Structure 1
Amino acid sequence: MPSFISTQEKADLASIAGYADLSRLSGKTILVTGATGLIGSAFIKAVVTYNRGPGQPITIIGLVRDKEKAKDLFGSFYDDPFLTFLRHDILTPLHLEVPVHFIVHAASITTSSLFVSHPVETIETTVLGSRNLLEFAKQQQVLAMVYLSSMEVYGRVEESEQRTTEKDLGSIDILNVRSSYSESKRLVECMCHSYYIEYGVPVTIARLAQTFGPGIGKQENRVFAQFARSALTGKDIVLHTTGQSVGNYCYLSDAIKAIVTLLFHGAPGDAYTIVNEETSMTIAEMASLVACSIANNTIKVIFDIPPQDKNLGYAPDTKLRLSSGKMNALGWHAEVNLEQAYQRLVASLREEKDFMQ
């Protein structure tokens, strides 16, 4: 089945394709892991969109575990003459005959329930997979690499009027099985810095806030997708926590532009938070925003909190409010706020008839 591309997604891809720094990839080869994930696929589609313009093409190699899935996901993008999909498990060392100039390492387990049910696999994929990519980057002597980390590395921080910067790490309970994700992400960040210091690998760390936008899969079950479905179907938003944890978000096209920025302006071995500061709010506040502003008060927010001994894989409550100052200093600025992000996402999903099925 061909990939569906909504009007809004096309507009977002065109916006990324027109981003000034993207043209600096012209004539080069970029490797993207996690190519069928939300960020990896959006990055590749944006580059293919660029290739359809007048500039010198960018060669793309997308690492996937299932080429048929990639064919379905990418549709007409799949046949771009400068795009190649390579079936590869990142737990296996990577060897390519062709030179690679840039890497975006986006492969990761991102489903919260798997952090709890498959913590060993979560750790292995994050740590061993990333080591293989760093070894490959070292062998290839790449010009730049961006590793996609997560805001979960910040852990639980003390509530403060000041925004949390890249140096303000909080605590993580290493004996909580869900920490398999956040703790392994921390270790890989240290590994990235170490590969730069010891071997000169020019890898920069992107700490992503929760990122979403048009192009999410119909199986997506993270909170933003659940809220969007509620707005589309007219069903009440049901929260299984008190919703007091503060969330931080970034619109997908803004995040892709930030990753491109880091390829050329990020300091190797350093970490940068990718977030729109205007989006920092509690889950309950976001639910209310969707119910009121997106669903026009046609739905309510309902709290249905399970017993404490039932582990649903949710992250511990945090009052984290992230700073985008370090990214802003590189010239990047988020453009799409949370209400606009939901408006664009819902408009896109309305065009995609099978999303709700």
Structure 2
Amino acid sequence: MYINNKLYQEDIKKIIIEDFIFLKNKSILITGASGLIGSCIVDILMFLNKKFDFNINIFAIFSNIENFEKRFPSYKNNKHFNILVQDIANLFDYNFYVDYIIHAASNTHPHLYGTKPVETIKLNIIGTLNVFNFAKKNKNSKSIFLSTMEVYGSNYNIKAFKENDIGFVNFMKSRACYPESKRTCETLCHSYIEEYDLDIVIARLGYIYGPTVKMDSTKADVQFLAKALNNENIIIKSEGLQKRSYLYVLDAAAGLLTILLKGKKGETYNVAAKSGNVLLRDYAKQLAQIANVRIVFENATEQEQKGFSTVLNSTLNDEKIKSLGWNEKFTFNEAIEHTFKIKKELINA
């Protein structure tokens, strides 16, 4: 599995920083533990336990037991790993104490934005309410909420969004189910801080990619990866001129842990690096070159278009997160190469 892959292990080693020592002997609740980012964070924490005896107690929430069994079979009997099967849209009925809460669960599939907008809103908003109501019982805990660059919307006067910038989201389209519910969740963060004095920080993620991604995702970069892994030509269903902030999942996970440990209560931090600000077609070209395949342009179906973001520029300013001492460890080209190699090795294992 992932944690036994040598290149993946080397990538984990590369992102470990001295500040992680403050995680030693702590307990952490993670929602969305089988997802792209949540599962990577779990692996990092378990690596710290194994290699450095950090004694971190992990409570990992999965929507179903199959997600755990597919992703973490090697952790099944580990004393530091606690499996919780929970629909986060249902009430949390837990009495244990944790030091930190990482709320990473969310619908992140464009297909679901187009076909299940109500469920997307429900999962984000009700799930976040349940997480923070649990945090109320853990009065001295600190939480990090994983938001998205989509909350910025469109603003053609901004080259790279800073944390206090704002743009337009057309809430009269069902595709707004994702950014608008995430905006509401950010307001919930500030409301719980104001009313209940919770310690919460917000992370706005750019386009995160890496080997821990589930291959059933309908995100464009995952579809590109699926084609590349099958030695098929990569299909782009647009002109590919959307500019995004791409970031390797190991760098993103390290950034989130840095924000969790050093971020200021109530503050928001972009999780991105200037080095990853590229066009969608540039991402595809780099992956195609590594996989030795070509790029083909096709028209998207009407149903596919319903899930697409119409924002052309979603690049993020990285100054604030870097002020905490975080820096990306992987170049853009290196990260795409590692994504392809690790995933390929796991498939062939």
Q: TM-score, normalised by structure 2?
A: 0.93
Query: How much does 1:4 deviate?
Result: 7.3
Q: Distance in 2 between matches of 1:117 and 1:102?
A: 34
State the distance in 2 between where 1:128 and 1:49 align. 32
CA contact (8 A) 1:104 1:146 kept: yes
Structure 1 contact 228–342 (Cα < 8 Å) conserved? no
Query: Contact 1:157/1:320 (CA < 8 Å) preserved in 2?
Result: no
Q: Distance in 1 between matches of 2:5 and 2:157?
A: 40
Alignment partners' CA distance in 1, 2:143 and 2:184: 17
Within the alignment, does 1:111 sit opposite 2:109 as a pair?
A: yes
Provide structure 1 residue ranges, at least 5 long, that are not aligned to the other structure. none
The 8 Å contact of residues 238 and 301 in structure 1, kept in 2 or not, is answered as yes
Give the aligned partner of residue 346 of structure 1.
340
Question: Counterparts in 2 of 1:294-305, with a 5 A limit?
Answer: 294-295=290-291, 298-305=292-299
Change (3 A) 1:306 1:106: closer
What is aligned with 1:325?
319
Deviation at 1:258, TM superposition (A): 0.9
The superposition leaves residues 315-348 of structure 1 with CA deviations (integer Å, 9 ceiling, x where unpaired) of 1032232101010111111122321111101111
Given residue 339 of structure 1, which amino acid in structure 2 is its aligned partner?
A: N
Match of residue 211 from structure 1: 208
Partner of 2:95: 97
2:277 to 269, 277, 280: 280
What's the offset of the Cα at 1:118? 0.8
Q: Is the 8 A contact 2:103 2:143 kept in 1?
A: yes
Kindly provide the CA deviation profile for residues 62-96 of structure 1, in whole angstroms up to 9, marking residues without a partner as x: 11121233023112123221110111121122132
Q: Distance in 2 between matches of 1:329 and 1:300?
A: 40
Checking the alignment, whether the CA contact within 8 Å between 1:218 and 1:354 is kept in structure 2 is no
Answering whether residue 310 of structure 2 is matched by residue 316 of structure 1, we say: yes
Cα distance between partner residues in 2 of 1:134 and 1:307? 39
How many Å apart are 1:5 and its aligned residue? Answer: 4.2
Task: Name the count of aligned residue pairs.
Answer: 349
The one of 28, 52, 55 equivalent to 2:53 is 55
Any idea what the Cα deviations from partners look like across 1:1-54, whole Å, max 9, x if unmatched? x667432222223344x3322221211211001111111111111111111134
Match of 1:74 in 2: 72
Q: Does structure 2 retain, via aligned residues, the 8 Å contact 1:245–1:283? A: yes
Whole-angstrom CA distance in 2 between matches of 1:306 and 1:222:
13
Tell me the amino acid that sits aligned with residue 12 of structure 1. D
Match of 1:7 in 2: 6
The one-letter code sitting in structure 2 at the alignment partner of 1:10 is Q
Counterparts of residues 142-291 of structure 1 (less than 5 Å): 142-160=140-158, 162-291=159-288
Q: Secondary structure at the match of 1:349?
A: helix
CA distance in 2, matches of 1:145, 1:313: 30
CA distance in 2, matches of 1:221, 1:5: 27
Per-residue deviation, 1:310: 6.4
The verdict on how the C-alpha distance between 1:308 and 1:106 changes in structure 2, with shifts beyond 3 A counting, is closer
How many Å apart are 1:217 and its aligned residue? 2.7
Q: Could you tell me how far 1:309 is from its partner in structure 2?
A: 8.1
Structure 2's unaligned 5+ residue stretches are none
Q: Scaled by the length of structure 1, what TM-score is found?
A: 0.91
Q: Is the 8 A contact 1:31 1:103 kept in 2?
A: yes
Distance in 2 of aligned mates of 1:43 and 1:191: 24
Query: In the alignment, residue 99 of structure 1 is paired with which amino acid?
Result: Y
Match of 1:37 in 2: 35
Contact 2:2 2:8 in 1 (8 A): no
Rounded Cα–Cα distance in structure 2 between residues aligned with 1:348 and 1:253? 13
Superposition deviation, residue 156 in structure 1: 1.0
What displacement does 1:177 show? 0.7
Query: Distance between the aligned counterparts of 2:12 and 2:65, measured in 1?
Result: 22
What's the CA shift string for 1:177-231, capped at 9, x where partnerless? 1110010000100110121122111110010111122222333442222223333
Q: 1:65 to 1:306 in 2, by over 3 A?
A: closer
CA RMSD of aligned residues (A): 2.0
Aligned pairs for 1:128-143 (under 5 A) are 128-143=126-141
Which amino acid letter does the alignment assign opposite residue 167 of structure 1?
N
8 Å CA contact 1:232–1:350 kept in 2: the answer is: yes
How far residue 113 of structure 1 moved from its aligned partner, in angstroms, is 0.8
Larger helix fraction of residues: 2
Match of 1:127 among 101, 125, 128: 125
SS at match of 1:84: strand
CA distance in 2, matches of 1:267, 1:301: 44
Distance 1:67 1:235 in 2: 33
